[in-house]
Amino acid sequence: MGKTIEMIGLRFGRLTVIGKDVKRKDQKSRHTFWKCLCDCGNIVTVDGYRLRSGETKSCGCLRDEIRRETIVNYNNQNPTRPDKWKHGKSGTPLYHVYRHMIDRCYDQNNPKFNIYGGRGITVCDEWRNDSSTFFKWADDN
């Protein structure tokens, strides 16, 4: 078994290692997990290998920031296509809930269409025509 590399105080991207996570240990690979403080204030637990390899650079805030920047750039470059990339929620669990809800009610090829759309169940026009209203409702509730 290899020796654990001491990483407390080291910085990896936006993460600063603040301690070893003694509760979490990958028994198969025997990797050490570290508690890290992100520049945004979140504390996350990360596999030491992923920190050292550069695979993990933040708590997820960097990915979200890049996604928002990409959306803004796309919308600025394509002003005639305002319908694209409005919400920035693609890939999130909430977006999948929304997409599956719409598909069950309107896509006849969906395996669950018969018990939703086939029975006349629909999504209100406000949510169907503007997904951001659904996201707002879900966040509020």
Give tens-digit pLDDT for 74-93.
666 665 554 555 566 777 78
At 6-38, the pLDDT tens digits run: 889 999 999 999 998 876 555 666 778 899 999
State how beta strands 43-47 and 11-12 pair.
unpaired
Q: Per mean pLDDT, which range of 59-63, 102-106, 123-127 is the poorest?
A: 59-63
Of 66, 60, 27, nearest in space to 46 by CA: 60
* pLDDT the model gives residue 78: 60
At 43-75, the pLDDT tens digits run: 999 988 889 999 999 988 888 888 777 777 766
Distance CA 8, CA 20 (A): 8
Distance CA 140, CA 129 (A): 19
Q: How many CA atoms are closer than 13 Å to the CA of 126, on its beta-carbon side?
A: 5
From the centroid of its chain, how far is CA 91? 6
